[in-house]
Amino acid sequence: MKEEYLLTDTLEYTNEPYAIAKIAGIKMCESYNIQYNTNFIAVQPTNLYGPNDNFDLEKSHVLPALIRKIHLGKALINKDWDIIRKDLDKLPIENINGSNSENEILEVLSKYGLKRKSEKEESDIQIEIWGSGKPMREFLWSEDMADACIHLMMNINFKDIVKLDDLRLKNQEIRNSHINIGSGKDISIKQLAEMIKSIIGFKGELYYNTDKPDGTLKKLTDTTKLTNLNWKYTVEIEEGIDRLYNWYLKYL
């Protein structure tokens, strides 16, 4: 998705509310620059992950949610209740913490997709993932995002991106002057889940619930504009997952 594609078609339904909120901010900055000669640079980041991420299973995004669920799934297989209770003491789920009974903990974990395939096989854990696993998603390490913002603030002005006088002379509209920040690479949800499973060492099964929505099938940003401004990300997704999982273990 190039910057100029923004608002050239309808927004995907499940993304519409927060997409409109973000677009409003981008357009406000753009309009201030055009009308009052301010020097705002609006950026549009891809999906971010990194230290201090949100691991709340009720509200988190896909990558930290998968890390936590697969971490708990591994502990369930190993019947390591110390790890499970430590996790829930740090981040209770629906007021269920480490002091609750095993049955209460299993019940709330089941609600969030950590289930036994069979009542007879306690160690046979299945983790539910919404959708088919086919949607492609792009991820960027949060500290790379911060570095990109600092690079733009220190080195780039709005006039370097948009030649206002030239466009006005040609009577051309000024639109979509924001800059995409991303890696320019995407990965399927299934590939992501398998990668996390391998890094954590989970031996159970991943189950894709196709009764749940997939959302937008592809959300890859075109980062040509940012690359031409001499910035590139540094953390590949596999390294980032390993870093974040180790951060999470220390956080617990």
Residues 6+ apart with CB under 8 A from 4: 175, 176
Output the CA–CA distances (angstroms, integers) from residue 248 to 65, 104, 204, 245, 251, in the order listed.
12, 24, 21, 5, 5
CA angle 199, 86, 89 (to 5 degrees): 125
Which phi-psi region, left, alpha or beta, contains residue 201 (left: φ > 0; alpha: ψ -120 to 50)?
A: left
Q: First CA to last CA across the chain, in angstroms?
A: 38
- The DSSP call for residue 96 is B
Dihedral angle over CA of 79, 82, 83, 88, nearest 10: 110
* Residues 156, 149: Cα–Cα separation, whole Å: 10
Residues marked active site are found at: 18
The torsion angles phi and psi of 110, rounded to 5 degrees, stand at -60, -40
Residue for token pair 């829930």 = 88
